[in-house]
Amino acid sequence: MALDHISVAVSDIGKSGAFYDAVLGHLGMARIADREMTIGYGKKFPEFWINARPDMAPVSADTGVHIALRARSEELVLECYQAALENGGTDAGSPGARQAALTTYFGAFFKDPDGNKVEIVTFPKPE
């Protein structure tokens, strides 16, 4: 199995488009598909979609949804986190080293303007 894409509901496509432009650009992703009610981001094809749902209820704080996107370096994790906070996101776990089930990693958590939880993560190269 391979993951093809992820779709996230947003209440304001313009506001969320600006947010994800700022964050995902640091990961080398750009708008590949740009329509009135949806925007697809990727490197070669749309891998991450935001879809307008103007009447959606606010995302619950305990939704359990967690999207993790990989960065090439700790510097890019920091840049994405900062871009998120500067563009309407909120902190959900400041950048730092963390212990995962199988290894340690460096990551940061934030919520987008609708409360969707996003993590930017990088795994250090073995020494």
Express each pLDDT in 15-46 by its tens digit.
999 999 999 999 999 999 999 999 999 999 99
Q: Which of 59, 56, 14 is nearest to 37 (CA)?
A: 14
pTM for the model: 0.92
18-46 burial string, b = 16+ CB within 10 Å, else e? ebbbbbbebbebeebeeeeebbbbbeeeb
CATH code assigned to 6-54+66-122: 3.10.180.10
**Domains of the chain, residue spans:** 6-54+66-122
Amino acid identity, residue 114? D
Amino acid, res. 9: A
- Per-residue pLDDT tens digits for 64-122: 789 999 999 999 999 999 999 999 999 999 999 999 888 899 999 999 999 999 999 99
